[in-house]
Amino acid sequence: MVNLTITPEAEKAFSQLSEDKRADFVRISAGQACGCGRIGYQMHWETERSPEDEELNAQGLVLLVDNESKPLLEGSVIDYKKEALSEGFYISNPNAPQGCGCGGH
């Protein structure tokens, strides 16, 4: 089972999303963003699940995590931030390499 922390702010946002679902699931995935080892994260609505997906409940929404993403998401924190010029979910992993040595980020 993947160890994810969902902040109270993210739980509130998931609760609001559950009231206006666009699909049955929300998929969380992670992968290398480039050759430097930096990890990129994505969340999107999903209509189908795979038997290998892990399901997590988040305030009425079912989050799906595939097998390839589990080790990259281990120890991650899902937060929701509302700032002057941006608003949305943020995924951070204190166990993942930080920064980028290739200069592309």
pTM recorded for the entire structure: 0.82
pLDDT band, very low/low/confident/very high, at 105 (cuts 50, 70, 90): very low
Q: For residue 9, what is the enclosing H or E element?
A: helix 8-18
**5-10 average pLDDT score:** 95
What would be the CATH architecture of the domain defined by 4-92? Sandwich (2.60)
Q: Is 13 helix (H, G, I), strand (E, B) or coil?
A: helix
* CA separation for the pair 102, 33 (Å, rounded): 11
Residue among 45, 41, 55 at smallest CA distance from 18: 45
pLDDT, residue 80, reads 96
